[in-house]
Amino acid sequence: MLARNILLAILVSPELLVALAVWALLLHFPGAFSEIGTKLVSDSENWKYVTVVPTGLFVWSVTLFGDIRNPVDKEANRLLYAWPHYGLLVGRLYVALALSGVAAAVAVALWLLGKGLGHAAIGALFVGALGVSLVVAATLTFARSRIRELLVQHS
């Protein structure tokens, strides 16, 4: 059941939608990504910060992970831990962290190795890493808020 949930979490996720959208846009409109790549490569200041946002969002996602698993106080947390689908929630949290980690790793790899790539590939990898990181952070932020709200209502 957990493996099936993890597979569904990956296949039916907004993060995959972002990655597929970037890929489709790269195939049909490579000029836009080439322009982004050119801007990133042309200025050394821009290039230094390629990793900052995806990596920062990964750190934020790790913080949210802890907040979601321990959202309120001990008494309310027991209610969450007793929830029959808590294991599925934790599995989804690990998937979200993995996706955010992959996006941060892509940004770091792009920063370290990317100058040899074409400008369209640089732009697409950057936009994809940024988009996936943003979606993960937003999803976890909304989840944290909703879980806290539900626990306050039901405790």
| Sole residue written with tokens 């909304």 | 142
Max Cα–Cα distance, the chain, nearest Å: 56
| Window from 3-12, 47-56, 60-69 with minimum mean pLDDT | 3-12
pTM listed for this prediction: 0.91
Q: Compute how many other C-beta atoms are within 10 angstroms of the C-beta atom of residue 122.
A: 24
pLDDT digits (tens, 9 = 90+) for 95-146: 999 999 999 999 999 999 888 899 999 999 999 999 999 999 999 999 999 9
The radius of gyration of the chain's CA atoms, rounded to the nearest angstrom, is 18
- The rounded distance, in Å, linking the Cα atoms of 15 and 28 is 20
